[in-house]
Structure 1
């Protein structure tokens, strides 16, 4: 399994096992852009940069978690979901199926107005340091 897929699987597992997150979205936490009821969480962009040091292969990998709410353009439901996601992922611990997780942190969180005027889009960016 690739290190990137292992990180994605860990992030999904942490979110699905967070009572605070599932209290808001239930089981609507998916990889991809499924046609889901609101609120929900989908996975977004990802990238990584090699971070090798002293004969240790490593990478810094970034994964975007997209949080979607739709309550007549109100921002607070999306803020609550973003905060719950941050709580589930920031400084989280876990085992990767490939590689070894050194650290995972939330490096960015933001709320964006969707052009439709009723949907809010929260973006939570996690950055993980992983030994390959």
Structure 2
């Protein structure tokens, strides 16, 4: 049976980020799935998610690519990189518990910073590779 771990992973990632004091020092409690119409900067938002199922006899695993975005405004790139450093430290190669299965690993796949066309917003993009197995509890 194909298990989609996306919701469980997002719940665990969000909980981890909200409980991290370094994340709180930069982003407070601004970690969003759905961004408000007029958000307070800086904040973290859920980006693209890709699930690659690994199915077979007795296997119900997935490789998930989860992208998180960080956003700052009216600050230099150093502020964005500082927040990104904390975001990576909170998740890369750390233990993560999810409902309905196990996270076997979570590793940073890539990170980049992008200046927004508005000239005042900076955007960090962090993609994590997450291996899960629904048969391991």
TM-score (norm 1): 0.92
Q: Which moved more, 1:52-61 or 1:98-107?
A: 52-61
Match of 2:109 in 1: 107
Unaligned runs of 5+ in 2: none
Match of 1:58 in 2: 61
CA distance in 2, matches of 1:69, 1:8: 22
Tell me which of 59, 65, 70 is aligned to 1:67: 70
Match of 1:45 in 2: 48
Q: How many residues align?
A: 131
Tell me which of 85, 88, 96 is aligned to 2:87: 85
C-alpha RMSD of matched pairs (Å): 1.6
Match of 2:34 in 1: 32
Unaligned runs of 5+ in 1: none
Q: Secondary structure at the match of 2:98?
A: coil
Deviations 1:17-70 (A, max 9, x none): 111111001011111222311111111110111224663221100111110001
Q: Which moved more, 1:32-41 or 1:117-126?
A: 32-41
TM-score (norm 2): 0.89
